[in-house]
Amino acid sequence: MQLFELMRYRRSIRKYKDQQIARCDLEKIIEAGLYAPSAGGGQRAAIIALRNQALCQKVGQLNIARFDRQQLAGSYVSSEQPSIIDDPSLKSGFYGAPTVCMVLCPKNFLYSIPDAFCCAENMVLAATELGISSCIVARGEDTFAGEAGAALLREWKVPDSYVVRCFVLLGYCAGAYPAAKPRKDGRSLIIE
């Protein structure tokens, strides 16, 4: 696909087939993330990929455990691809995705969050190009805030100076691929 076609086609997928993505595709997606823009060209973002379904489920449960609906700007996402906002019965913030990538950046760096989400955006675009569905999920800091999460970070030898900023879910869409939502008017302004 051409870049603009790819960006228009990509959707956030929250229903996944029980089918793992190929490791070579995962490596390409990670490479795309590592080529994302970064503040001052510092390349501070790091990626940890989970390809173990039970571990993805465990971390997904940690992700949803501290979810606070009071901090939401909206209350509805999708009937085709419901989020934890739409369906409180969901027990994992990762929606059964067979692969989950964690994007980490330095805790005390001013541009840590923008760097992480630039990395995640590159990853979801690369995934779409490869025919793999994806979704960016936030709440990385909350996911690992408790002892169970902290223990996992220690096990994975994540330096104390780094924090998980977001996740990129990867897999294959279960059901029909959703259509684009109409774009809202009034979201851009060009000043000459």
pLDDT value for 181: 87
Strands 162-171, 133-137: pairing kind: antiparallel
Residues 77-94 have a mean pLDDT of 78
SS3 of residue 167 by DSSP? strand
- Please name the residue that has the structure tokens 């025919």: 131
Taking residues 25-46, report their average pLDDT.
97
Per-residue pLDDT reduced to its tens digit, 138-151: 999 999 999 999 99
Of the listed ranges 24-38, 79-93, 151-165, the one predicted with least confidence: 79-93
Name which residue leads in pLDDT, 77 or 117: 117
What are the tens digits of pLDDT across the range 146-165?
999 999 999 999 999 999 99
- Asked whether the predicted pLDDT for residue 176 surpasses 80, the reply is yes
Place of tokens 């989970």: 50
**Tokens standing for residue 42:** 């510092």
